[in-house]
Chains A and B, each alone.
Chain A
């Protein structure tokens, strides 16, 4: 037997208010005989105070009473009862319709005509008790739902804080990025991450998990960890993407996946690399107004096994001022009140009408705003626009914190060589950077160190081992040819190697890192190379593009070439920062 059945048979506490002593006595006797507990008073004022004190389950009120009549008592009792349903039945010999209506307006639920009929009284009391109990059940359930909902909201709030710590916005507030990610969208499975790369440039990832709510948000956490962890260490977009795919494939149930796009922006080479798997077309908007679509060419992340996954990026040249725009599905699905969606037409229509002064991000946001009419932030949409910029602008990106300069390895030397087909499959840069970053004094300089290592490595690989002419990269046609040829030649590197030797030692005021990079290539005539000779006339010919060499010269204390030019040695000095403690905060 459950509680509600027990409730139904429980005697009720009933309050009677009637100024006629005889009527009151008849009713009281009748109700007592039915097993109920009865409280009785002779006027409205007493009725209100007894109601307050005794909290009866049901009230029977005479309409006409001295001191305070039934109408006024009814109003006050209903007010006191608040959300509780206390059935209130008027006892009356009135029969005029207007008077009866006023009783109901005052808060009465029904009438009992005088003289009393035992059967009708019993039936009405039972009926109202059922209604009272149903009301209470509904109220209890509503309170329970309200409480559960509050708990859920609290938990989501906490989860969101944890999520925000892991999936922080990275460098999304950099001056060349504009984005909109609705706050609610994290529990809709949208993610947007951006990180500066140690070598300069930026990595951006936008993702859209299938499904909604907690499962989608949970999938986003490891993606954030992988993205920020690997981007910081200098891994390129391809490596990060492969890792994300592999992780998601392992942890997500079949049927759940993540549509995503990765953008790797290189402000030095003026190039963008884009991978789009399942997101709507991205757009490259050149300063000239020319538009280029960056369509999805891959399956979403988390579907294919690592050996089937294709992490080939599309590579496009992009000059400072060119902008790339990416969006999630929710952006296209923004709907107006009639249910029409903004769609691809909305996007292309807006882009076609861009004039030089408009920022495409603003144009897009206001277009979708206009379209939907009642645009709400709760919408599940993410939009991001990255602008290509001058390499110099990168200096404004915040340095990461660095611990004390005194701990960590100071005197060490290591040599690392990659050979043969590994040259085409593996970049040693993250590993080498990682070794250097064990020296706290170098950690503050991770960008410069990475640049030095990357310049040496890329020169050794592309111009030393693969003998690619760098001048190809300076025309759009040559650009494609360069990278096609690069891939072709990478397949044929038997007998080749690139060897790094790193040597670190402490000096009284800091430390010195010596890096020797040797390769198995032909070398070049460094004695007569204009950039080597004078240091300030960048030419586009020869093994080193002038730019790369000038960069090395600017960052390093010295740079020397040995043998036939395939053996480069640079020296990089760093100083203890006197205000290190302050700067590190």
Chain B
């Protein structure tokens, strides 16, 4: 599975981990990862430590997650990006919408 999820210790944070290419082919799997409707989830961490590549449709998927998680009030952290992935996120100035660390 290129996408794995787990709950963080507090039970309110969903960690979504994407392996390999984060692009249109992972669209459905990425949506399935957060759209199970657990009401306890307050925050999301998108862990990109094993993500090798990210394209513009992945940026779109992140926006969908942000919308799902409450738009401007969404608590989403994107973490462990490699340099290429980080570059794509910063060209699009996604740090204005997401907490990237």
Contact across chains for B97 and A210 when beta carbons are under 8 A apart: no
**Least distance between B34 CB and chain A CB atoms (Å):** 13
B-binding segment of A170-178, A250-258, A501-509? A250-258
**Chain A residue contacts of B35, Cβ below 8 A:** none
Q: Which B residue's beta carbon lies closest to that of A210?
A: B56
**Chain A residue contacts of B96, Cβ below 8 A:** 299
A256 to B56, CA, bound (A): 9
**Least distance between A379 CB and chain B CB atoms (Å):** 16
A255 to B96, CA, bound (A): 16
A257 to B56, CA, bound (A): 9
A259 to B97, CA, bound (A): 15
A279 to B57, CA, bound (A): 15
Contact across chains for B93 and A277 when beta carbons are under 8 A apart: yes
A61 to B64, CA, bound (A): 66
Q: Which of B61, B91, B94, B96 has the most CB of A within 10 A?
A: B91
Q: Which A residue's beta carbon lies closest to that of B88?
A: A329
**Least distance between A384 CB and chain B CB atoms (Å):** 18
Q: Which of B57, B60, B61, B94 has the most CB of A within 10 A?
A: B60
Q: Which of A208, A210, A259 has the most CB of B within 10 A?
A: A210
**Chain B residue contacts of A300, Cβ below 8 A:** 92
Give the interface residue-count category, chain A: 20 to 34
Say yes or no: A303-B91 contact (C-beta < 8 A), given A210-B57, A211-B57. no
- B32 contacts A by Cβ under 8 Å: no
Contact across chains for B56 and A303 when beta carbons are under 8 A apart: no
Contact across chains for A210 and B91 when beta carbons are under 8 A apart: no
A295 to B56, CA, bound (A): 18
Q: Which of A208, A297, A329 has the most CB of B within 10 A?
A: A329
- A278 contacts B by Cβ under 8 Å: yes
- B67 contacts A by Cβ under 8 Å: yes
Q: Which of A210, A255, A278, A329 has the most CB of B within 10 A?
A: A255
Q: Interface residues of B, CB < 8 Å — how many? A: 14
Contact across chains for B60 and A257 when beta carbons are under 8 A apart: yes
A494 to B47, CA, bound (A): 52
Contact across chains for A255 and B92 when beta carbons are under 8 A apart: no
Q: Which B residue's beta carbon lies closest to that of A302?
A: B63
**Chain A residue contacts of B94, Cβ below 8 A:** 299
**Least distance between A133 CB and chain B CB atoms (Å):** 35
A280 to B91, CA, bound (A): 7
**Least distance between B39 CB and chain A CB atoms (Å):** 22
Contact across chains for B64 and A278 when beta carbons are under 8 A apart: no
| Interface 1/0 per residue, A254-267 and B, CB below 8 Å | 11110100000000
- B59 contacts A by Cβ under 8 Å: yes
Say yes or no: A303-B63 contact (C-beta < 8 A), given A277-B93, A296-B93. yes
**Least distance between A534 CB and chain B CB atoms (Å):** 52
Contact across chains for A211 and B60 when beta carbons are under 8 A apart: yes
Chain A, range 293-334, C-beta contacts under 8 Å to B: 295-300, 303, 329
Additional A-B contacts beyond A254-B67, A255-B61 (4; CB < 8 A): A208-B56, A210-B57, A277-B92, A299-B97
Closest 8 CB pairs of A and B: A255-B60, A210-B56, A278-B92, A255-B64, A254-B67, A299-B93, A296-B91, A255-B63
**25 CB-based A-B contacts, threshold 8 Å:** A210-B56, A210-B57, A210-B59, A211-B57, A211-B60, A254-B63, A254-B67, A255-B60, A255-B61, A255-B63, A256-B60, A257-B59, A257-B60, A257-B63, A259-B92, A277-B92, A277-B93, A278-B91, A278-B93, A280-B91, A296-B91, A296-B93, A299-B96, A303-B63, A303-B97
